[in-house]
């Protein structure tokens, strides 16, 4: 009688575990990527790690430290190609060689064109087997901000909208609570934790008085850098909204025009928020100036949760790079209900904006469609 053979988990199994580990760094690694790693010896996980915070040890180093001597001759799984240059920490390729790893299984390549593939070459030259591209798409999807910065060298502008089936943001009265359900709204909290900056228009502030913080189960409320786009400072005309008066108000900046009223600017600054006047003679120059400010502040990604006015402005300037569209199964069927997007008026579908690398996720009854926005 033959003894049944036990099949060992494959590369995808271990890479999914590495992905789970990487997500533990949500919101704490910026401007670095989220990365997860684990060491497997003879079918047993002997060490795990993830990149916990910017400036700290990388995922590979943490996993190797946890494995100790058990790493010699073992396989290292990592979601991103190991770094091969010295930054705030030494190159991970050297740590992998010193640990005696025999095989590296990696997910996505380093998105930096100057480094892509070099880490793999260094490992192979040292006699270490390398398998690359395991769950590459899922691994790359962890880090849209980092990937975009490495390729484009500018901040990523992402737009998030909660829509009806007919593309409306609210009823004609302006009421929008709630178009999407609780599960979709909880997922937005994850986005707020990931993006180091969040932006809204003056209309959203006046209509919804939002908090713009991340509130995740089991975690303290967390606040990104908050930006309000208000070129006339109308949000300072009445009682100050909570963004200008809560415990996180020092993280709030009102982005306005140089011609904004001095009295309103003084009132806002006295309340403890920041005011950023920008000189701009067009939508394109306004957003270019703001993008330069973000880069100076080392904020390489911003999530814009605006209304139709700000979305129209961003589209006109060609400034939406990534889109998160949460669509609920409801119809307003009302021409006067505000549409999320407008102003482009393509003559036929071939001229319309499209998403690439599209992903669909279901949250309760709602569907999230997300991807990179590209022009034809």
Cis peptide before 31 (omega within 30 of 0): yes
Six-digit token string for 165: 């089936």
Distance between CA atoms of residues 287 and 76, nearest Å? 43
Contacts of 178 (CB under 8 A, 6+ apart): 162, 185
Distance between CA atoms of residues 179 and 305, nearest Å? 14
Is 60 noted as a catalytic residue in this protein? yes
Distance between CA atoms of residues 309 and 369, nearest Å? 21
Contacts of 289 (CB under 8 A, 6+ apart): 278, 279, 280
Give SS3 for 75.
strand
Six-digit token string for 223: 């606040």
Distance between CA atoms of residues 175 and 100, nearest Å? 61
CA terminus-to-terminus distance, the chain: 64
Distance between CA atoms of residues 209 and 278, nearest Å? 24
Contacts of 148 (CB under 8 A, 6+ apart): 154, 156, 300, 301, 321, 322
Judge contact between 366 and 184, C-beta under 8 A.
yes
Distance between CA atoms of residues 231 and 217, nearest Å? 36
Judge residue 280's burial from the number of C-beta atoms within 10 Å of its C-beta, 0-12 exposed, 13-18 middle, 19 or more buried: middle
The one catalytic residue among 2, 42, 60, 132: 60
Active site positions, annotated: 60
């Amino acid at each position: 009688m033959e003894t049944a053979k036990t099949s060992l988990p494959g590369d995808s199994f271990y890479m999914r575990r590495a992905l789970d580990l990487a997500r533990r760094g949500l919101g704490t690694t910026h401007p670095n990527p989220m990365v997860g790693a684990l060491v497997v010896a003879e079918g047993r996980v002997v060490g795990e790690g993830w990149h916990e915070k910017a400036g700290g040890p990388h995922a590979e180093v943490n996993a190797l430290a946890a494995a100790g001597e058990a790493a010699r001759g073992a396989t290292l799984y990592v979601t991103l190609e190991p770094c091969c240059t010295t930054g705030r920490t030494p190159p991970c390729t050297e740590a992998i060689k010193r640990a005696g790893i025999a095989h590296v299984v990696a997910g996505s390549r380093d998105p930096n064109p100057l480094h892509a593939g070099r880490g793999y070459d260094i490992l192979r030259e040292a006699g270490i087997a390398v398998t690359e591209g395991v769950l590459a798409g899922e691994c790359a999807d962890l880090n849209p901000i980092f990937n975009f910065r490495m390729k484009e060298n500018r901040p990523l502008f992402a737009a998030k909208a909660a829509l009806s089936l007919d593309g409306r943001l609210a009823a004609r009265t302006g009421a929008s609570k709630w178009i999407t359900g609780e599960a979709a709204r909880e997922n937005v909290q994850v986005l707020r934790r990931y993006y180091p900056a969040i932006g809204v228009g003056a209309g959203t502030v006046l209509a919804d008085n939002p908090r713009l913080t991340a509130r995740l189960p089991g975690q303290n409320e967390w606040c990104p850098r908050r930006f309000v786009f208000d070129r006339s400072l109308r949000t300072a005309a009445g009682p100050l909204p909570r963004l200008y008066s809560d415990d996180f108000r020092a993280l709030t900046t009102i982005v306005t025009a140089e011609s904004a009223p001095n009295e309103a600017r003084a009132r806002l600054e006295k309340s403890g928020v920041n005011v950023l006047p920008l000189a701009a003679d067009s939508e394109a120059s306004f957003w270019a100036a703001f993008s330069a400010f973000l880069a100076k502040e080392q904020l390489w990604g911003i999530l814009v949760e605006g209304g139709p006015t700000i979305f129209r402005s961003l589209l006109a300037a060609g400034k939406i790079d990534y889109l998160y569209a949460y669509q609920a199964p409801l119809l307003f069927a009302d021409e006067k209900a505000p549409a999320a997007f407008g102003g482009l008026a393509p003559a036929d579908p071939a001229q319309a904006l499209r998403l690439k690398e599209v992903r669909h996720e279901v949250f309760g009854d709602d569907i999230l469609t997300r991807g990179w926005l590209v022009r034809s």
